[in-house]
Amino acid sequence: MLPLTPYQIIAPLISLFAILYVWSLVFKQKKTIWEGSLWTLFWMAIAVIALFPPVLDYLAFVMGFKDRQNALLITFLGVLSFIVFYLIVRLEELEQRQTKLTRSMALKDAGLDHKRTGSPEGKAHDQGR
């Protein structure tokens, strides 16, 4: 058996931690079992690709990559995609905050604000979370 590269050790370890984290969220009922399974499949794919790179040969064959330059280009595209994804996530967060604020104002204006709703959100608010 060929010696493992650092990448082949680190990537499966990260995958393992990610899978454990996802299932801890499932047990805390923050994620559903379905979502946990989807994430597990995703991280397992990362680990499998790291441990068995020849899997990618098949993908490269199917997608038509021929040399390292192409692989480099694809890697950078991947990094750019991640940055776009990160920006979308931040935008989503900002939108959520704005919506939360608008909703709170509406309830407050109507004299029906969180502290009296008994909602999960209201209870968290009351407990200072």
121 is a contact residue toward other proteins (CB under 8 A): yes
49 is a contact residue toward other proteins (CB under 8 A): no
Q: Which stretch binds other proteins (CB under 8 A): 12-20, 54-62, 67-75, 111-119?
A: 111-119
If the CB atoms of residues 57 and 126 are measured against other proteins, the closer one turns out to be: 126
Among 17, 30, 45, 77, binds other proteins (CB under 8 A): 30
Shortest distance, position 101 Cβ to other proteins, whole Å: 9
27 is a contact residue toward other proteins (CB under 8 A): no
122 is a contact residue toward other proteins (CB under 8 A): yes
N residues, the chain: 129
What DSSP letter does each residue of the chain carry, written as one string?
A: -PPPPHHHHHHHHHHHHHHHHHHHHHHTTSS-HHHHHHHHHHHHHHHHHHH-THHHHHHHHHHT--SHHHHHHHHHHHHHHHHHHHHHHHHHHHHHHHHHHHHHHHHHHTT--GGGT--HHHHHHHTT-
Among 20, 41, 77, 105, binds other proteins (CB under 8 A): 105
Instruction: Please name the residues in contact with 74: beta carbons below 8 A apart, sequence gap of 6 or more.
Output: 65
Q: Which residues bind other proteins (CB under 8 A)?
A: 29-35, 38-39, 88-89, 92, 95-96, 98-99, 102-103, 105-107, 109-110, 112-114, 116-122
